[in-house]
Amino acid sequence: MRIRPLAALSAAALSAVLLAGCASSNAPDTDATPTPTATSSDCGLDPQSGADSEAVTVSGTAPTLTAQAPTDLAFTELQRTTVTEGDGEDLATGQLVSGQYVYVDPTTGAVVVDSATTSADDSGLVPIIVDGNTILGSAVLCTPLGSTTTFTIPGTMLGDSAPNYVIAAQSVEQLPTKATGADQEPVAGMPEVTLADDGEPTIKVADDFTAPETTQIANLKTGDGPTVNSGDTVFVQYTGVLPDGTVFDSSWQRGAPTQFQTTGVVQGFQKALEGQSVGSQLIAVIPAAEGYGDQAQGSIPANSPLIFVVDILGVQRAPQQ
């Protein structure tokens, strides 16, 4: 089993890579939240403590966490050490937490990326999706909420010529995995949305549906969290359907939230995300011209409008170049 391959040259690129997970082929780019208990079979690569991860020194706590590492680490295997153990429940795949992470350059031993500089508010914290398929998710998976860990990853696990990685991370608080904003009145002419108890939407499209000329957006819930700006990484749950009601993609069905930069999705989806506030839920009806146009995309036919219901769960500012 491999963690997703990485390639990073700049601090901005590295920060994006640390966040990257496995995207669905039908995601608009380019999971009801389960209540699992973390067991050995659910802990991904289940990295153990070793000489490398134990040699990384950590000081402070989120959002002022920092770390240093020796420049002679062996990087012979994946290792993770719990430096301080939190008093919360063990974190499981599909959860969303706030926290802080730092990346230490193993060639210099110094911090080169600090997530606190990309926090969307004055907390200094950023969202982290708990997921064994990503570096950050693996850093906190199956550790008690509130724990601080050090994580050393050999480049050989990541792909040809990939660099070695040293991460220190702390989870702080569990975040909602569905929109929690104030309910809004339905907008006439938009598809009908009903929500399951866990928040998963069902979208009913009218038989006489006609695609708009430009993307139409309506808020189903309005949150009071930070605003999503262009280029930010947004953390969401979403369901996408075709005009006949067929679900072509859903983070809910995959069992976990997902994240992406607003500038890395189709035009209509970008319009729907930017300017929204965390805690909001929206419905967007996107014409083909602002979707995938005349190109088929997975199960999405060419020239098809797209309809999304999106819960805005969190946001992280774009790193400064």
CA distance 65 to 169: 8
Quick check: 306 and 28 in contact, CB under 8 A?
A: yes
The β-bridge partners of 259 are 235
For the whole model, what pTM was predicted?
0.89
Written in H, E and C, the secondary structure of 9-62 is CCHHHHHHHHHCCCCCCCCCECCCCCCCCCCHHHCCCCCECCHHHHHCEEECCC
The structural domains of the chain, ordered by start, are 11-30+34-175 (3.10.50.40), 182-316 (3.10.50.40)
Q: Which of these, 59, 58, 55, lies nearest to 73 by C-alpha position?
A: 55
Cis peptide leading into residue 191 (ω within 30°)? no
Both structure tokens of 109 = 């031993």
The answer for residues whose C-beta is within 8 angstroms of residue 103's C-beta and 6 or more apart is: 14, 15, 18, 111, 112, 113, 165, 166, 167
CA distance 236 to 245: 21
Q: Phi-psi category of 304—alpha, beta or left, where left has phi over 0 and alpha has psi -120 to 50? A: beta
Residue by residue, pLDDT tens for the chain (321 residues) are 344 433 233 444 455 555 554 333 344 543 222 334 454 458 888 899 999 999 999 999 999 999 999 999 999 999 999 999 999 999 999 999 999 999 999 999 999 999 999 999 999 999 999 998 888 999 999 999 999 999 999 988 888 888 999 999 999 999 999 999 999 999 999 999 999 999 999 999 999 999 999 999 999 999 999 999 999 999 999 999 999 999 999 999 999 999 999 999 999 999 999 999 999 999 999 999 999 999 999 999 999 999 999 999 999 999 876
The β-bridge partners of 241 are 247, 307
